[in-house]
A and B are shown apart, each in its own frame.
Chain A
Amino acid sequence: MTTATPTAPVRPTVGMTRRGFTRLTLTQAKLLFREPAALVWMLVPVVLVLVLGSIPGFRTPQAGLGGQRVIDVYVPTFASMVPLFLALTALPMTLASYREKDVLRRLSVSPVPASGVLGALVTVVAALALTGAGLVAAVGALVFHVSAPAHLPAVLAGFALGGAAVLALGLVVAARARTAAAASGLGVPMMVLNFFASGLYVPVAELPHSVQQICAAIPFGAVTAIWSGQGVLWQHLLVLAGWTVAGGLTAVRLFRWE
């Protein structure tokens, strides 16, 4: 995670030491844990799975859901909530509040490059998202016997790429938003749209076909489609890769310290 751009060959320059990156990442993690919001958001989906799963009607197969139980449909949706919240709300708001409070200004005169700051935050958020989503999946599987999807590698790839896609979008917001309020103003609608596409409000299978098509173009709509085996896998993966690359490049171009 260095952006060493050696200009004078006599003086080899290092943008950031590995030790520095590790320390920055650990510090970011510590700071996130000191803000209870992130932890709450990691646990809310787990609680939702437990609550929904404890309703007997949600544990019986439904004809309208193609013989699946409600809990089967909702586990991937709840698992998606964690990365969506962290990537589209926690990440941009954290970075924007650093910008707002001149924390980034202080960092910008240290040897840390912008990519180091973004990289450290993304590392922490990705690790938390992975843990949170894994927790939801584990509770679903162990408590309510939600079976693993038949095409597990595809689903894991979908989640990983979907996480990358929303992280990239979160970074676009984070790159420029001047205040935490502005960041949440941009990030929250994106998060809600992804919630919708992942079937949080209405199961995607119950939506009209045309709306389902649109949902599949939204990152976590594509992830949910991969999980439920809808549509063509490579198309979904292409959508996710597209968002990741476009978002990442835009974020790097737009980034400002202040």
Chain B
Amino acid sequence: MAVIEVERLHKRYGDEVAVHDVSFEVERGEIFGVLGPNGAGKTTTVECLSGLRRRDGGRVSVLGLDPVTERDALRQVLGVQLQHSALPERLRVREALELYASFYRRPADIDGLLTRLGLTEKAGAAYKRLSGGQQQRLAIALAMVGSPQVVVLDELTTGLDPHARRATWELVEQVRDAGVTVLLVTHFMEEAERLCDRVALIDAGRVVAVDTPAGLAARAGREQRMRFRPSEPLADAELLALAEVTRVLHHGPQLEVVGTGNLVHAVTSLLARRQIIAGDLRVEQATLDDAFVSLTHATTSGATS
């Protein structure tokens, strides 16, 4: 069942249209990515569904609630981590969590949150003394402190170093494993590929595609390549007989098979039937990056990570 429904969302700022026409549904328990280049309308979309902005058109429902007219009820069950948000510099970690916990009818256990987010040692530290990664972890903790059913995480790992980014990804997976539906806004392909069950690709205020990361990658239509050293000789004709295979190249003892669609599955099945082992197997597949570039009009850097 869909916990977030966005239907023909439209939002203008004066004459400028930030979101033309965005529709998608998020199912309970999934990590759903909203992906797109900078300025595509991602943040405006999540701001509209968090009740932070009033939409100019369309319908939005989060857990059956209208973010504008049922704002108070929604606040109690929706956790939001916003890009560009902060805490008073001198507020301490535990104080921040206790403060935000007091706003909710069903607050989470603060010590448990501190432990899960690795902030126990920093419980007494002032906000301004935290590193970027620690501030982001606190932001996740604050989004979780009301025991929400849905959390919105906006550009969670922007500005974090690779180590902190990976640690944060694990936290997002933990959040989902705790039964919370996650809406993740990002422009990092790697992040979407790693975390998201499904992704809505947004460009210039419109949804370009909604699919799994792998599905999106396949739409990029790029050739896939497999390289391996077969344990037994294998006739090219047998490979070329597969619908997925377009070309076979030889590099000494190595074979390179080029094709489309579910190439890997087709070739490995054939090898299994012939009881041939593929040594040094390497697969080069279309990535979300390729899909992103081919499906959006992103020509500048910064759209890729």
- Cross-interface CB contact of A20 among B65, B69, B102, cutoff 8 Å: B102
Given contacts A23-B99, A27-B99, A30-B95, whether A11 and B86 have CB atoms under 8 Å apart is no
Q: Are A109 and B86 interface neighbours, CB within 8 A?
A: no
Contacts of A35 in B (CB 8 A): 90
Closest to A116 in B: B103
Q: Are A109 and B72 interface neighbours, CB within 8 A?
A: no
Cα distance A111–B65 in the bound complex, in angstroms: 15
Give the contact-size bracket for chain A. Answer: 20 to 34
Q: Are B73 and A13 interface neighbours, CB within 8 A?
A: yes
Q: Are A13 and B72 interface neighbours, CB within 8 A?
A: yes
Q: Are B72 and A14 interface neighbours, CB within 8 A?
A: yes
Q: Are B90 and A102 interface neighbours, CB within 8 A?
A: no
Q: Are B91 and A109 interface neighbours, CB within 8 A?
A: no
Q: How far is the CB of B268 from chain A (nearest CB, A)?
A: 47
Q: Can you show 7 pairs from A to B with CB atoms below 8 A apart?
A: A17-B103, A19-B102, A20-B102, A22-B102, A101-B88, A108-B52, A111-B104
Q: Are B86 and A103 interface neighbours, CB within 8 A?
A: yes
Q: Does A15 contact B (CB under 8 A)?
A: yes
Q: Contacting chain A: which of B74-82, B206-214, B283-291?
A: B74-82
Contacts of A20 in B (CB 8 A): 102-104
Q: Are A106 and B87 interface neighbours, CB within 8 A?
A: yes
Q: Are B72 and A34 interface neighbours, CB within 8 A?
A: no
Q: Does A44 contact B (CB under 8 A)?
A: no
How many A-B residue pairs lie within 8 Å, measured between CB atoms? 83
Q: How far is the CB of A30 from chain B (nearest CB, A)?
A: 7
| 98-140 of chain B: CB within 8 A of chain A | 98-100, 102-105
| 39-59 of chain B: CB within 8 A of chain A | 50-52
Given contacts A15-B72, A17-B105, A110-B100, whether A105 and B82 have CB atoms under 8 Å apart is yes
- Cross-interface CB contact of B95 among A17, A27, A98, A110, cutoff 8 Å: A27
Q: Are A110 and B72 interface neighbours, CB within 8 A?
A: no
- Cross-interface CB contact of B84 among A14, A16, A17, A102, cutoff 8 Å: A102
Q: Are B73 and A27 interface neighbours, CB within 8 A?
A: no
Cα distance A113–B70 in the bound complex, in angstroms: 13
Q: How far is the CB of A34 from chain B (nearest CB, A)?
A: 4
Q: Are B102 and A23 interface neighbours, CB within 8 A?
A: yes
Contacts of A30 in B (CB 8 A): 95
Q: Does B85 contact A (CB under 8 A)?
A: yes
Q: Does A210 contact B (CB under 8 A)?
A: no
Q: Are B86 and A102 interface neighbours, CB within 8 A?
A: yes
Given contacts A17-B102, A105-B85, A109-B50, whether A27 and B91 have CB atoms under 8 Å apart is yes
Q: How far is the CB of A6 from chain B (nearest CB, A)?
A: 8
Cα distance A34–B99 in the bound complex, in angstroms: 17
Q: Does A8 contact B (CB under 8 A)?
A: yes
Q: Does A147 contact B (CB under 8 A)?
A: no
Contacts of A8 in B (CB 8 A): 70, 73
Q: How far is the CB of A15 from chain B (nearest CB, A)?
A: 5
Of B72, B85, B95, most buried by chain A (CB within 10 Å of CB) is B72
Contacts of A102 in B (CB 8 A): 82, 84-86
Q: Are A109 and B52 interface neighbours, CB within 8 A?
A: yes
Could you list which residues of chain B lie within 8 angstroms of chain A, going by C-beta atoms?
50-52, 65, 69-70, 72-73, 75-76, 80, 82, 84-91, 95, 98-100, 102-105, 142, 146
Given contacts A23-B102, A27-B95, A111-B75, whether A106 and B86 have CB atoms under 8 Å apart is yes
Closest to B145 in A: A110
Closest to A19 in B: B102
Contacts of B65 in A (CB 8 A): 11
Q: Does A188 contact B (CB under 8 A)?
A: no
Contacts of A17 in B (CB 8 A): 102-105
Contacts of A7 in B (CB 8 A): 69-70
Q: How far is the CB of A26 from chain B (nearest CB, A)?
A: 9
Q: Are B75 and A109 interface neighbours, CB within 8 A?
A: yes
Residue interface bits A237-253, CB-to-B below 8 A is 1, else 0: 00000000000000000
| 99-129 of chain A: CB within 8 A of chain B | 101-103, 105-106, 108-113
Cα distance A111–B72 in the bound complex, in angstroms: 6
Q: Are B102 and A31 interface neighbours, CB within 8 A?
A: no
Q: Are B99 and A101 interface neighbours, CB within 8 A?
A: no
Contacts of A31 in B (CB 8 A): 88, 90-91
Cα distance A112–B146 in the bound complex, in angstroms: 12
Cα distance A30–B87 in the bound complex, in angstroms: 14
Given A4-B72, A103-B86, list of 11 further CB < 8 A pairs?
A: A7-B69, A11-B70, A17-B102, A24-B102, A24-B103, A101-B86, A101-B88, A101-B89, A102-B84, A105-B82, A111-B76
Closest to A35 in B: B90
Contacts of B76 in A (CB 8 A): 14, 111
Cα distance A20–B142 in the bound complex, in angstroms: 14
Q: Are A98 and B103 interface neighbours, CB within 8 A?
A: no
Q: Are A106 and B85 interface neighbours, CB within 8 A?
A: yes
Of B73, B84, B91, most buried by chain A (CB within 10 Å of CB) is B73
Given contacts A7-B70, A11-B73, A102-B86, whether A110 and B91 have CB atoms under 8 Å apart is no
Q: Which 10 A-B pairs have the closest CB atoms?
A: A23-B102, A13-B72, A111-B75, A106-B85, A109-B80, A20-B103, A34-B90, A20-B102, A105-B85, A13-B73
Closest to A28 in B: B88
